[in-house]
Amino acid sequence: MAICDYCGATYHGGAIKDGAYRYCIGQCHERGKFLLSKLEHVPQHKIDAFVIAQHDGPCPRCGQNSSIDVYQSYRIWSALVYARWQTREYVACQKCARAEQLADLSTCLFAGWWSPHGLLITPFFVVFNIAAFLRRPSRTVPSERFCKLARLMLARQLADQGV
């Protein structure tokens, strides 16, 4: 599964790739390309400074000044013949991310096994959640996914200002 860099939706295949960015549909590609065009005249050192400022800024969930990054967790819920699974992605500090990851791991462990699909998928999601929980992001260097989101955030701000 992939995640659209414009809307954040999770999708299977059919990605539209444009440079380092991936989009789920043509409409997201057009919007993302329009937004990123706003950054063409912004010096790279200003873009980098914005990314670092966002990385070192307050957590959007708890408000603590801590290095933030993009985290993922995986959730499955099933009953008899129905199973629903998803990959969740969020920007948060490590403490808030760990709380979300533990909640999703608990959901997998207690509610994931109760259908045929759940029996197949839950073991993988448990392993994926443990791996995501053990990931230790750098406190000084943001991940590439965070850099992409921060660039899009800056482009949205410039578009809102009419630049």
Summarised one tens digit per residue, pLDDT across range 99-149 is 999 999 999 999 999 999 999 999 999 999 999 999 888 788 899 889 989
Q: What does the CA dihedral 121, 122, 128, 133 come to, rounded to 10 degrees? A: 160
Q: How far apart are CA 104 and CA 99, in angstroms?
A: 9
pLDDT of residue 128: 96
Structure tokens at 104: 């999703």
Domain range for 102: 43-163
The 3-state DSSP class for residue 11 equals: strand
**Are residues 18 and 47 located together in one domain of the fold?**
no
Summarised one tens digit per residue, pLDDT across range 29-86 is 898 888 888 888 899 999 999 999 999 989 999 999 888 999 999 999 999 999 999 9
* Region of 14 on the Ramachandran plot (φ > 0 left; ψ -120 to 50 alpha; else beta): left
Q: How far apart are CA 103 and CA 75, in angstroms?
A: 9
CA terminus-to-terminus distance, the chain: 35
The 3-state DSSP class for residue 39 equals: coil
Summarised one tens digit per residue, pLDDT across range 10-23 is 777 777 888 888 88
**Are residues 118 and 148 located together in one domain of the fold?**
yes
**Are residues 9 and 68 located together in one domain of the fold?**
no
**Are residues 29 and 85 located together in one domain of the fold?**
no
> What is this structure's pTM?
0.83
**Are residues 72 and 141 located together in one domain of the fold?**
yes
**Are residues 94 and 150 located together in one domain of the fold?**
yes
| DSSP notation for 44-112 | HHHHHHHHHHHHHSB-TTT--B--EEEEEEEEEEEETTEEEEEEEEEEEEHHHHHHHHHHHHHHHHHHS
pLDDT of residue 1: 67
**Are residues 86 and 150 located together in one domain of the fold?**
yes
